[in-house]
Structure 1
Amino acid sequence: MKIEYITLGAYLLVLMIIGGMFSRLNRNISDFARGGAQGTWWMVGSSIFMAGISAFTFTGNASAAFSSGPTFLVIYLANIVGLVLCIWIGPWFRQTRATTWADIMRERFNVGVEQISAYISLIIQPVGAATQLYALAVFTSAILEIPTAWVVIILGFIVLFYSMTGGRWAVMATDFIQGLILFAVTVLMFYLAMQKIGGISEFLGYFHDPRFQQDFKLIKDPGQFADNKFTWKWVIVIFVLQLQGYINLGTAGRFLSVKDGKHAKWAAAWAAVLMLIGTVVWFVPPMVARFLYEPEIMALNIKEPATASYAYLAQQLLPNGLMGLMLASMLAATMSSMDTGLNNTTGVIVNNIIPRIRQWINLPPLSDAKGLLLCRILTVVLGLYIIAIGLMLTYQKQLSLFDAYLMIAAVIGLPLGMPVLLALWIKHLHWGAYYLIIALALIPSVYFVVASSAYGQEWPIQDRLLWIYIFSAVGCVLSLPLWKRAKAAYRDKVKNFYVKMHTPVDFAKEIGESNDRFQYRMLGGTSLILGSLILLFLFMPNSAAARWQIAALAGSIMATGALLLAFSRVSPKQ
């Protein structure tokens, strides 16, 4: 177990160093909140990809693969389709030229919508980040046998530190490094799982084994799984829900850091390729675990044994010493989501909430230096707030705060997303439609919560979502006449928003400065160092085959670093 502690400690130290390295790029709020719109496609694309996964990928979703086979992969199919569509609409998001997603709410709707959506996110996002931190801490403490509270504090402070020092630059850079480690380890796991089961033909053969055939068929029968999950209705509704997360104005923030529309296309394409590969390599191992180790896994003394299927197989197959790296990969998946949320919330406060307050009390705008200092201070404050909530979740027996967060997210999460989805595609949507659509979408959402808590009526998620979509559509139709009553100034404002959104960015004129060479050099050098450190695992007692596997893993990371350094030599000077 000592080697796992050392591996994790070294890995987390690297993340903190990266934050310090990229701090020099921050000079104003735009740099801190969106990397000054200077991010290269490969770094932004990696960050988009990493922000979309968490440790739940290797626990809860692995459990679904273990229990029901490939049906749940419709979630990841929707992710891939969404990212492919972003090859088309990603440039639109970048061409809004916004600093934060809340800027887009103001320009498309009005100041009121900007402020309401900003304050709601300020309430929900920190609690959501704390919930992720708590869940990750519970998982990590169970493996390392460290008190959960200490894990919450340690991981929380590390994310806080590199997000505070490096801002959006550090978030993107650490996401790239974490994604590189994650892919290297999980591809090795995929290879070992396929080797263990005897190859692709043997793996597919288990789908026809009478022990697994019923559970692993693509579409399940109604009543086969709880809440009629994995039926045709479930598949269609979940696909639409997941796809919605990529094709609405609220997700434009993913592309605000990229240099221009062309880089936005490449970033979306790169993220789609990574998601496609990940979908295959992450979820074959849990299925292999079901085929080969089902009795052993189900006998584990934990609440939901299937959630440990990926980790159990890793313990059986990985060479000695690499389990710590696997755990680091799982940490990376969740920390990448947390750091993105922390940075986004800080950016919205400093760029959208505080300027409005200063305007109301007749104070001048913040200077670049003061704005950047405020970004750092607020990152610390928000980080400490998230850690405090995580500790509350750790010590509360009832977990009432956790339940409250889930209820708030369930009640208002999807309704809030409906108008920003429709506003991307319907140009003649009045700002009043934002409130009307949300109000109608909240009707079934609130009813389901009340019916469930007060009367014990259970509504499967696919039925809940279907009614929310229906009421949102009604709200949209009812709001359309509002456009005819809109003032000419508002119509012109909305028209100009769409014109700007479809006008290509001229990077040389609008941004000017490029630091591609720095990005290549810093991340290339870091990758080389990490790969070299992984070679130290060759000194662990292992078979010759296991040593070759470690060498291949380290070599892939070092090769990536060498490739980035090669590109740094041919990249134009800043």
Structure 2
Amino acid sequence: MLTGWDYAVIGCYLIFMMGIGLLWSRINKNASDFFRGGGNILWWINGMSSLAVGLTAYSFTAAGAKVFETGFLLVIVYLVGIIPYLLIYFFLAARYRQMRAVTVCDAIRRRFGKPTEQFWVWTALPIGLFQGGVMLYIISLFVSAAIGLPIVPTIMLLAVAVTVLASSGGSYAVSASDFIQMMIIIVVSITILVRTLLLPEVGGFSGFFGQLPEHYINFSLFERPAVWISLMMMFTAVNVLRALDLNTNGAKFLTVKDGHHAKKACMMMIVGTALVPLIAFTPVMAAGMLDFDLPSMFPNLKNASEGAYVAIAQKVLPQGMMGLMVCSIFAATLSSMDTALNKNAGFFVKNFYGDIINPNASEKTLLYLGRVFSVVFGGIVMGAAILISMFRDADLFSMLLKFNVLLQFPLIIPMVLGILYKRTPGWSCWSTVLVSMLAGWITQKLLDISQLCDLLGMQMPLNELEAKDMTFIVSGVITILVGTSWYFFTSFFYNRFASEKYTASVEAFYKDMNTPIDHVAEKTSDSDAAQYRNMSLMCFVYGTAICLGALIPNTGAERLLFIYAGGTFLLVGGLLRFIYNRKKTI
């Protein structure tokens, strides 16, 4: 269990995260600065931020439970995620930035027209806030189990912290906090990995692989090959769609300095996607070899295996460091939450208020409203998380799969296809969303997976795990196929419904996508030095605070862990300060 030192570490972390917003608040001069960092965020900040957004507490709880139960199956699924990032690196990263859009909805307006822009605002906005509530609930569930605080106060505490960050510092603060959070995740995860492998019960890499349960490698022991192979293929398709989707991963490239920076940020994401799953999930699999009574350790968790990562961390980390681990896990979800608040505030303020209510609004007004609605949406997300905590009736993994099919897939399909294929009328986007949602809902309602398996000639009845996975696979495939078919069907109406104004706008949009950023001609501001200065200061402050953890009563070797963790931040801070000093003299 956590000690008083662990609680002190968590408290200091929350104060530090809220202070980040205040540090970066002065750099925001207009709406573009607040909602996308002025399109000037450096590649190494953006790359780490993108990794942090993709690695939520879901990875350590719901996905961790899946790894605890099935071993390398989900690890391989995560590693396959490298494939879509390679596609982005070679074909799309630079083009996303060269859209020259402040928000995703700006790009949607240019590609599909203003009616579709407004449809997207009022569809993606509530879905995004609901998704933020899901993420807040997941991390609150984890923190509640780890520190023994009731779930509702935990939700409220974390919601306040992330709202202060997002509303005060905007996109600059969001990206900067993501960088720090990702560093915490990496440093603590490596510590847990090494100390887990050094346990006598594990016996290093050789002992780890020698003791692996057979079903961790032979997936056919818990699912027939037709099911787990189909599941891996489905997850691969989902990873490709999410990576290519402008509204999710693609949106991060709107904030970088130019196309060159976008490609370098994407390369950082490729490396991180290859390494982080192995670092994070190996201790979870090792926990499966140890004699943990997870139900008694985590009585408040419906699926006790969702606490497997916490269980192994409690065993290998000294007091104080466990608090840092808790910070690293909820940092992962806070990164996706603060991004959601900032993005959704941009949708409402820039693309509804600024485009419809008051097109003549000044930049100062848009900036002020961006802060206000970040707070408003933070309250809505908190309320959604509290409601989810009261009515959840499924395990986290299943809940996220249903969310993907019913809400995320329909939004992703037209966004991906709209970038790759342009000869469709403006209504192709919103109609595809509605048709896909209907297809997903009907499939979830009418699908009888046992009857379907009988039709496919499966001899044995499905077990519980196979039934859940097959439901996701079939409903997901139907939703994607129906949505994709409808989108291309609308292309038959392109010549009849596409006006000259619309086609000219689409052509101009694609031309911009293929035109590199010219900072001189486009008169973009240069905030490089300020970013290096602020990031170095953040690393120095946080690194020093972690080093002070060596004063916590622990053994000599355990005290050195704090020196290692804090020293990593100080080393990075020193490098960034060196670069800042060089830029000052140029």
What is the TM-score of this pair, normalised by structure 1?
A: 0.91
Greater shift, 104-113 or 427-436, is seen at 427-436
Correspondence 1:504 to 2:519: no
Asked if the contact 1:107/1:497 (under 8 Å) is kept, the reply is: yes
CA shift at 1:219, angstroms? 4.4
Q: Moved runs in structure 1, 4+ residues, more than 6 A?
A: 402-408, 453-458
3-state DSSP class of the match of 2:63?
helix
Alpha carbons of structure 1 residues 297 and 530: separation in structure 2 relative to 1, 3 Å? same
Question: Counterpart in 1 of 2:197?
Answer: 194
2:134 corresponds to which of 105, 108, 131: 131
1:384 corresponds to which of 364, 368, 379: 379
- Superposition map of 1:312-391 within 5 A: 312-358=311-357, 363-391=358-386
Hey, what's the Cα distance between the residues in 1 that align with 2:386 and 2:435?
A: 36
Correspondence 1:262 to 2:264: no
Asked if the contact 1:128/1:405 (under 8 Å) is kept, the reply is: no
Question: Counterpart in 1 of 2:280?
Answer: 282
CA shift at 1:301, angstroms? 5.0
Q: Which runs of 5+ in 1 are unaligned?
A: none
- Read off the aligned partner of 2:338 and give its amino acid letter: D
- Read off the aligned partner of 1:280 and give its amino acid letter: L
Question: Counterpart in 2 of 1:447?
Answer: 442
Q: Which runs of 5+ in 2 are unaligned?
A: 453-466
Greater shift, 112-121 or 511-520, is seen at 511-520
CA shift at 1:222, angstroms? 7.6
Question: Counterpart in 1 of 2:572?
Answer: 560
- Superposition map of 1:375-524 within 5 A: 375-394=370-389, 396=390, 410-451=405-446, 460-485=471-496, 486-524=498-536
Q: 1:46-92: per-residue Cα shift (whole Å, max 9, x none)?
A: 11111112111111111122111111124322432223332231110
Alpha carbons of structure 1 residues 198 and 322: separation in structure 2 relative to 1, 3 Å? same
Question: Counterpart in 2 of 1:203?
Answer: 208
Question: Counterpart in 1 of 2:44?
Answer: 42
Correspondence 1:111 to 2:114: yes
- Read off the aligned partner of 2:475 and give its amino acid letter: R
Alpha carbons of structure 1 residues 408 and 190: separation in structure 2 relative to 1, 3 Å? closer
Alpha carbons of structure 1 residues 152 and 412: separation in structure 2 relative to 1, 3 Å? closer
Alpha carbons of structure 1 residues 354 and 399: separation in structure 2 relative to 1, 3 Å? farther
Alpha carbons of structure 1 residues 525 and 442: separation in structure 2 relative to 1, 3 Å? closer
- Read off the aligned partner of 2:207 and give its amino acid letter: E
Asked if the contact 1:136/1:331 (under 8 Å) is kept, the reply is: yes
Question: Counterpart in 2 of 1:529?
Answer: 541
- Superposition map of 1:45-60 within 5 A: 45-60=47-62
3-state DSSP class of the match of 1:429?
coil
Asked if the contact 1:132/1:338 (under 8 Å) is kept, the reply is: yes
Asked if the contact 2:5/2:552 (under 8 Å) is kept, the reply is: no
Question: Counterpart in 2 of 1:239?
Answer: 236
Asked if the contact 1:249/1:423 (under 8 Å) is kept, the reply is: no
Q: 1:212-246: per-residue Cα shift (whole Å, max 9, x none)?
A: 11x11254368459xx75x1111111111122101
Query: Superposition RMSD on alpha carbons, in Å?
Result: 2.6
Question: Counterpart in 1 of 2:217?
Answer: 217
Hey, what's the Cα distance between the residues in 1 that align with 2:174 and 2:143?
A: 22
Hey, what's the Cα distance between the residues in 1 that align with 2:557 and 2:99?
A: 52
- Read off the aligned partner of 1:531 and give its amino acid letter: G
Hey, what's the Cα distance between the residues in 2 that align with 1:405 and 1:324?
A: 27
User: Aligned pair count?
Assistant: 559
CA shift at 1:453, angstroms? 10
CA shift at 1:472, angstroms? 2.7
Question: Counterpart in 2 of 1:65?
Answer: 67
Asked if the contact 2:75/2:278 (under 8 Å) is kept, the reply is: no
Hey, what's the Cα distance between the residues in 2 that align with 1:309 and 1:405?
A: 19
- Read off the aligned partner of 1:350 and give its amino acid letter: V
Hey, what's the Cα distance between the residues in 2 that align with 1:298 and 1:405?
A: 22
Alpha carbons of structure 1 residues 235 and 137: separation in structure 2 relative to 1, 3 Å? same
Q: 1:15-56: per-residue Cα shift (whole Å, max 9, x none)?
A: 111110100011111111001111011111111111112111
Question: Percent identity between the aligned chains?
Answer: 27
Asked if the contact 2:284/2:308 (under 8 Å) is kept, the reply is: yes
3-state DSSP class of the match of 1:554?
helix
Question: Counterpart in 2 of 1:102?
Answer: 105
Alpha carbons of structure 1 residues 115 and 255: separation in structure 2 relative to 1, 3 Å? same
3-state DSSP class of the match of 2:516?
coil
Hey, what's the Cα distance between the residues in 2 that align with 1:232 and 1:399?
A: 28
Question: Counterpart in 2 of 1:253?
Answer: 251
Asked if the contact 1:163/1:170 (under 8 Å) is kept, the reply is: yes
Asked if the contact 1:78/1:243 (under 8 Å) is kept, the reply is: no
CA shift at 1:304, angstroms? 2.0
Question: Counterpart in 1 of 2:559?
Answer: 547
Alpha carbons of structure 1 residues 86 and 409: separation in structure 2 relative to 1, 3 Å? closer
Hey, what's the Cα distance between the residues in 2 that align with 1:222 and 1:480?
A: 44
3-state DSSP class of the match of 2:184?
helix
